[in-house]
Each structure stands twice: as structure tokens, then as C-alpha cells.
Amino acid sequence: MTHIAPVALLLAATLALPAQAAVTYSWQQVSASSSMPTGLNLELAFSEEAVANGALYLNIRNECDIGPPCIDPQSSLLSLRYWFDDPYVGGQHNLIDYGYRTPPRNYYDRIVMDLTFLAGGLVGGSIFASDGNSDFRMVSQGALFSVTDANSDEPFGCGVEYPDCSGASGMLVAAAREVTEVPEPATGAIVGLGLVAAWFVRRRQFAGASKAAVSAAPILIAAS
């Protein structure tokens, strides 16, 4: 029993893995296009390690309707969200919502990107994403991206309303070194191990006190 607390502390230290931080890039529109609706949004979250490497190529194909394995194990792109705001009633049209190692929101996740992370919190390259319901493609010259093609099965956004959806330009700009933590299951394990260790120590102390009381009982009887 004497080694329970040190062992628990060692296990807690082993589980105390650093949280994975994300650097988020958001679409900042420079010019609109008459062939595209307004309200374009694009958010990309990358791991700090991917950004520090300076360049990233990904070819993700999550097709869980076909069967396992269907989740790409990559750890560079933590999320991708693309949508158009509804200017009248609110809501999001043509939403593509890719999450880190999570099943596809719609039919599948198909993402191809070839990016270079530039100075000043900018990025350049090419991006294609599709979830089987909506898709878009954009390429850049330097840090200035242009939407070359976008489609959707929905009636709004780049759907029936805008059949030749393309032309908007903008930049993907990193938040000013604001990082969001991707939670790791270490904190709860540390707390749990600490409680277990404390319980064992308390139990040992109680057991020792009980033995001492039992040993002293015959002496008290003899004295009486």
C-alpha cells in the first residue's frame, strides 16, 4: 500500500499529455461577384505543427457509407466549415462541416488542399471540399484566393439560384495568434487518479489505527 500514491502520481504524469492547439484561418472577402451570393464564410483550423511546417498537402476521403476504415487519420486539418449566410431569415446554406476524425455530416468528406503558410498570418494555394451535397474549389495567386467553382443540391446559395457560382475573391487570415484548445482526456484522468491515491492513503491510515486499537484491547481488560 505504501507505493500507491507514487504510482498514481506517475500514471497521472504519463497521462498529462499537452493539449493540441489549433490556428484558425477565416475568409476575409476582398471583392464580390454577381454570379455568387453574398455572405460567403470559410473557416479552417490547422494544428500548430502543420502551420509551423510551412506547407501542407492533404487528400482526405471519408466515405463511411462504403464501410470501415472510413476516417482519415491525419492530424493537420482539425476542422473545415464553409457556408453562405441567409441575408433574410438567417441560417446557413450549403454548409460543409468537416470535423477532426469524426464521421461525415452528409454523404462523405472529400477534401484536397495544397497550401503554403505565408508570413503575416496568410495562406496560399488551392482548396477543394465536398460533402456530397455541396462543394467548392478555390485557388490563389499569392495570398489572394478566387472561387473558381461552387455547387450545391440546395435551392439557395450556390444552388439553383446561382448555377454558375464563381468569382468572389478574398484572403484566408489567421486569428491574431489566438489559439483554441482541442481538449485531451488527460485532466479528468489526473483528478481521478489523485482521488484514488488519497482514498488508498486514508484507508491505510484507518487500517493502522484499527490494528492499534485491537492490540491495545487485551491490555485494558487485564488492567481492569
- Give tens-digit pLDDT for 13-69: 333 434 568 999 999 999 999 999 999 999 999 999 999 999 999 999 998 877 777
Residue 108 has which C-alpha cell? 462523405
Quick one: 135 and 46 in the same domain?
Answer: yes
Is the pLDDT score of 209 beyond 70? no
- Note whether 177 and 197 are same-domain residues: no
Query: Are 91 and 161 in a shared domain?
Result: yes
Average pLDDT of the residues in 126-142: 97
Higher pLDDT, 161 or 186: 161
Residues 43, 138, single domain; the answer is yes
Return the minimum-mean-pLDDT range out of 42-46, 85-89, 130-134: 85-89
Regarding whether 167 and 209 lie in a shared domain, the answer is no
pLDDT of the residue at 21:
86
Does position 212 have pLDDT exceeding 90, yes or no? no
- Distances in Å between the Cα of 129 and the Cα atoms of 16, 28, 34, 179 are 35, 18, 22, 24
What is the C-alpha separation between 189 and 202, in angstroms, rounded? 20
Q: Say whether pLDDT at 101 is over 60.
A: yes
The pLDDT, as a whole number, for residue 161 is 86
The domain in which residue 42 lies consists of: 19-182
Same domain, residue pair 191 and 204: yes
Q: Is the pLDDT of residue 216 over 50?
A: no
81 with 104, same domain? yes
* Same domain as 138, residue 160: yes
Say whether pLDDT at 179 is over 60.
no
Based on the domain organization, do 117 and 190 belong to the same domain? Answer: no
- Report the alpha-carbon distance of residue 115 to residue 216 in Å, rounded: 77
Q: What is the pTM of this model?
A: 0.71
Q: Are residues 71 and 156 in the same domain?
A: yes
The pLDDT score that the predictor gives to residue 219 is 38
**Residue 86: band (very low, low, confident or very high) from pLDDT cuts 50, 70, 90:** confident
Is residue 167 pLDDT above 90, yes or no?
Answer: yes
pLDDT: which is higher, 88 or 177: 88
CA neighbor of 59 nearest in space, from 115, 107, 139, 113? 113
Residues 91 and 115 reside in one and the same domain: yes
Task: Report residue 153 CA to chain centroid gap.
Answer: 27
| Better-scored residue on pLDDT, 69 or 76 | 76
Q: Is 111 in contact with 76 (CB distance < 8 Å)?
A: no
Identify which has the larger pLDDT, 75 or 209: 75
